[in-house]
Structure 1
Amino acid sequence: MDPITQGAFGAVFAQLHGRKKDIAKAGVIGALAGMAPDLDILIRSMNDPLLALEYHRHFTHSLLFIPFGGLIVSLVLHPLLGRRWGLSFLQTLLWCIIGYATHALLDACTSYGTQLLWPLTNTRFSWDIISVIDPLVTVPILVLTILAARRKARGYVFLAIAWLVLYFGFAAYLHERALAEGVKLAESRGLEVVRLEAKPSFANIVVWKIITETKDTFYVDAIKPFGDTPNVWEGQSSKKLDIDRDLPWLDKSSQQAKDIERFRWFSMDYIALDKNNPNRVADIRYSLLPQEIQPLWGIDLSPDATPEDHIVYYNDRGDSRGAVKRLWQMIWE
């Protein structure tokens, strides 16, 4: 999730431990430790644009790395803050480990994919419960964390955790409802489903994106899983990427071909050729509107590239203002 949310999570759980008079200190150290795993964004290459994708949510986000990550952060924060505030190293270390531990578990609640069990497996876990940005997660936790620190009252911490339990529990319930409605929609179309997933749309848990995969096609729809007759916005479909059919010119031994497979792994095999660009492979998991296949990112290939050339990674936000306006309308329909 975004750094503010990660920091708020690290802070609130760190505030559960230690003396009440140190709640503000626990919040600061827990917040910094909670954001620390995302320093993996510094791992990148000028020549290989996919390196950053491979290493984001990689070893720094592994559950097995938590003790080491917490220790590294404490070795930095104790000299900078802990000693100045009269804290023991063990107290700083405890808050750092707690803050660090919240990060990967929170990320896994989104749809992006997190390597929780690296190096045992490079599987990307995504529980699809909340969006990567959700103000109803961030704002209440941030406010309650600050109140706890200012008033040295742990009651606000308990309120924050209670809110998280309720909100995430409700999100998990809606996720199951959306999946069930997605299955009904697929059955009404007579589809032979290979895989079906429900993902929260941008910044909310009201409207869900349903991705239905058959043998050769992806179908994307939006569902609002409330009431006896949920709202359904039937969307678009796209053929799954077939390299022989879609990119017949591609040298299978080239770096571009290898990069497609790396991107396939990152995108959990949700890749298709862009209908508007015959040399662009897109990740269909994410779009501004949940019922559309207008990917936010993907890779560009070139028939003129040398065998050693990498792909070009792109981001495309399109008409974000118009999409947010339409999504807001869908939430309230």
Structure 2
Amino acid sequence: MDSITQAALGATVAGAIAGKRCNAKVLLVGALLGTLPDLDVFLDYGDAVNNTIKHRGFSHSLFVLPPLALLISWLYCRFRPDPFWSFKRVSFVTLSVLITHTLLDAMTTYGTQLLWPLDGYFELRNVFIIDPLYTLPLLLAIGVACFAKQHGGRWCQAVVLISTLYLGWGYTAQQVVAKRVEANLAAQAIPSERVLITPTPFNTVLWRIVVMDDGKYWEGLASLFDQDSHIEFVNRPLSVWPLEEEPTTLMGLRAFSHGYLNYREESGMLIVSDLRLGMANNLSFEFAFAERDEVGEWALLESTQRYPGERGFEHLNTLWERLKGDQEIDANLQRVERTL
């Protein structure tokens, strides 16, 4: 999730555990701990692909966070002893904030290396990386807790429960859409071996579906407010890696994306796209891997580069109309391709 949400979650979790001892200091410490795992974004792994796929790595690992929590707690108790905030209480708060951070990240589509240094990216894809309906209650609880004194902890406890229920709602909505997708793929004779279902920006009502096929992939939208269960799928060309040599960065990107990759040539550059995040023709993660040399042959770049996209908010209204169940928009899906 975004940094504001993670800080808000950390503060609210800390306030919920503190209970009657909840105050501005507890909330601030919780917010700082909530942002700690994401400080790995300042590490440079050498190129654009590695900076992307190694984010949410060691700093989000369930093998690393518990000993880190114990170390932070020991240091705090060593230099700031407090009869109430014993090592046991401090370590419980610290571990809770750090673990809820990485578990929330694992519910987005980006992917989180929960078991680093073991290989594997985990994601449930039941919530978008920015969702106001999840974040705003957390911010409200923090605001109330700053002034409610003894009742602040209760507000935090209530909102932590509400936010958890919202994540459960996202998973339930995803499963409802999944059953509808399964029926549509069978009815339309589209292969169903590799199907991706993920929320569109800022909500858990409108869902994007990507289906991989031989030589093409299918893309569609499904809203929980649709009156008709039919899903309009648009097929798009799916290319393969054109070079004999396969760099290790490509292997890493393939693992990160679970194979949801596409390849194209644009302006003499070989572009590799992660199909999971964004919309067709305007995807969030695109990388330049090679360029044409003087004789027209592909030459791998010394280091991969982010390929710039043009994402904006001007078409969010179209997605909003589609969210409300206007399936006529699906006949012209290109209208929303330039959305986040």
**TM-score interval, smaller chain:** 0.7 to 0.9
Amino acid at match of 1:62: S
Note if contact 1:200-1:208 (Cα within 8 Å) is conserved in structure 2.
yes
CA distance in 2, matches of 1:211, 1:62: 28
Q: CA RMSD in A?
A: 2.8
TM-score, normalised to structure 1, is 0.84
| Alpha-carbon separation, structure 2, partners of 1:311 and 1:103 | 29
SS for the counterpart of 1:321 is coil
Asked whether the 8 Å contact 2:109–2:277 carries over to 1, the reply is no
Q: Would you say the 8 A contact 2:291–2:301 is kept in 1?
A: no
Query: Structure 1 residue 295 and structure 2 residue 283: aligned?
Result: yes
Q: Hey, what does 2:97 align to over in structure 1? A: 99
Number of the residue aligned with 2:332:
none
Per-residue deviation, 1:144: 1.1
In structure 1, what residue type is equivalent to 2:249? D
1:37, distance to aligned residue in structure 2 (A): 0.5
**Counterpart amino acid of 2:240?**
D
Query: Structure 1 pair 231/74, CA: closer, same or farther in 2 (3 Å)?
Result: farther
Equivalent residue number for residue 11 of structure 1? 11
Is 1:142 the counterpart of 2:139? The answer is yes
Q: CA-to-partner distance for each residue in 1:74-122, whole Å, 9 max, x for gaps?
A: 4676789x56999555544332222111111000111111111223x32
Give the alignment of 1:120-269 within 5 angstroms. Answer: 121-152=118-149, 153=151, 154-226=153-225, 229-230=228-229, 232-239=231-238, 241-243=239-241, 247=242, 250-252=243-245, 257-269=247-259
TM-score relative to the length of structure 2: 0.83
Give the secondary structure class of the aligned counterpart of 1:16: helix
* Secondary structure of 2:139's aligned partner: helix
Partner of 2:321: 329
Kept after mapping to 2: 8 A contact 1:33/1:97: no
Aligned AA (1:48): D
Distance 1:330 1:85, change over 3 A: farther
Residue 338 (structure 2) aligns with: none
Aligned to 2:274: 283
- Seen in structure 2, the aligned counterparts of structure 1 residues 123 and 251 have a Cα distance that, compared at 3 Å, is same
Preserved CA contact (<8 Å) 2:60 2:112: yes
**1:226-260 per-position Cα deviation (integer Å, ceiling 9, x unaligned):** 46634745334231x422xxx2xx3516xxx3322
- C-alpha distance after superposition, 1:260-306 (max 9, x if no partner): 2222122221101237566211111112x4xx343122111213376
Runs of 5+ unmatched residues, structure 1: none
| 3-state SS, counterpart of residue 186 of structure 2 | helix
SS at match of 2:64: helix
The reply on whether 1:42 has 2:11 as its aligned counterpart is: no
Return the alpha-carbon distance in structure 1 between the equivalents of residues 106 and 321 of structure 2.
Answer: 28
* Residue ranges of structure 2 left out of the alignment (5+ in a row): 327-340
Residues in 2 aligned to 1:169 and 1:19: alpha-carbon distance in whole angstroms = 24
